[in-house]
Structures are given as C-alpha cells and as structure tokens.
Homo-oligomer: A and B are copies of this chain.
C-alpha cells in the first residue's frame, strides 16, 4: 500500500452514487467526489477511469441494485400480483435512486460483457414473472419491453416533475398497470 487515505473504488462509487441521487447524474463531478472523500481530484484516477469510468461503475451498481429489488419484490407472488409488485419496485427504485438509475439507462458499450450480462439478468427476472401468461417467446419479449417502458416512462416523468396536476400518482400508476395487464390477456398475441 502507500501513504493511503483508505480510499477504495467501492467508497468512490458509493459517494458518487449519493451525490448523483441527491443532485442529478448530470451534476456529478469528480471534484465533488474528491472533496467529499477528503482527497485531491487526481487521486481518484487511482480507483476509477475518469468520469466516464465512474459513470460506468454507477451503471453497474444501479443495475445490480435494481435487479435485486425486482427479484425480491416477486418472491412469494405470482400472476398479476407479481407483475404489479415488480413494476412498483421498479418505480420505487427510480424515485429512491434517480442518479444511479439514470446511469443505467445509457446503452452499455458493445464490448462491456459485465454490463451486458447484468442487463440480461434483469430481463430474465421479468421474463420469469411473465412466464405464466404464456405469450410465446417473441410475445414475452414484447411484453417485457412494454412493462419496462411503462415503469421507466412513468417513473422518470414523475421524477422529473412532469406530472403537475394534483391527482394521486399511485392511482395513476396502478390504473396504467391494470390496463396493461387486462390488455395483455385480452389481446394475447394479436398483431
């Protein structure tokens, strides 16, 4: 080791995640992270590969946490209950950790195997929850995309302050999910 100040990549990423959640991913700077850790800015380069590297680590953290939340939300549930729980967990994660969630949305580099694998794992969790609907292979993927669009779209709009009117947002989300599920059963594998 060295004249070390006990900094690790994990600590850097944790502090960055807190800052990104609090002030937005766009406002995250290495200077802030360094100040929070009590080191000079260039020292961070010993632990992360610059700002792009740090954002990639944030994405890894976010996808891992998100996947865990979704999986945990589904245990002991089935059918519509499970789908509702997963979607609610998705929304809750976005609202609780908007910064790290934003990091997960950027498409991973084509050669980033770890990130690709994590994404596939999360998709797998949702596929499992949708299995009982017997939508077929393609139909299931369409449904995963639909459910993810709904959860992502609602939560990110909500987080951005996009729902101005004073109408309960929990109700809006629940209605949207129920409509989607009813439609899934009704339309089956139509067009």
Q: Which residues of A contact B (CB under 8 A)?
A: 26, 105-107, 116, 119, 138, 141-143, 145-146, 148-154, 156-157, 160-165, 167, 169, 171-172, 174-176, 178-184, 186-187, 190-191
Known contacts being A153-B156, A157-B105, is A119 close to B186, with CB within 8 Å?
no
Q: B116, B153, B183: which contacts A149 (Cβ < 8 A)? A: B153
Whether the pair B146, A157 counts as a contact (CB closer than 8 A) is no
How many chain copies?
2
Closest to A116 in B: B164
Whether the pair B175, A179 counts as a contact (CB closer than 8 A) is no
Whether the pair B162, A153 counts as a contact (CB closer than 8 A) is no
Whether the pair A142, B191 counts as a contact (CB closer than 8 A) is no
Closest to A164 in B: B119
Q: How far is the CA of A143 from the CA of B167 in the complex (A)?
A: 12
Closest to A153 in B: B153
Q: B141, B164, B171: which contacts A142 (Cβ < 8 A)? A: B171
Closest CB-CB distance, A36 to chain B, in whole Å? Answer: 22
6 A-B pairs with least C-beta separation: A153-B153, A179-B183, A107-B161, A183-B183, A149-B153, A146-B176
Which residue, A105, A153, A190, has most C-beta atoms of chain B within 10 A? A153
Contacts of A179 in B (CB 8 A): 146, 179-180, 182-184, 186-187
Whether the pair A149, B157 counts as a contact (CB closer than 8 A) is yes
Known contacts being A26-B26, A167-B141, is A107 close to B178, with CB within 8 Å?
no
Whether the pair A148, B157 counts as a contact (CB closer than 8 A) is yes
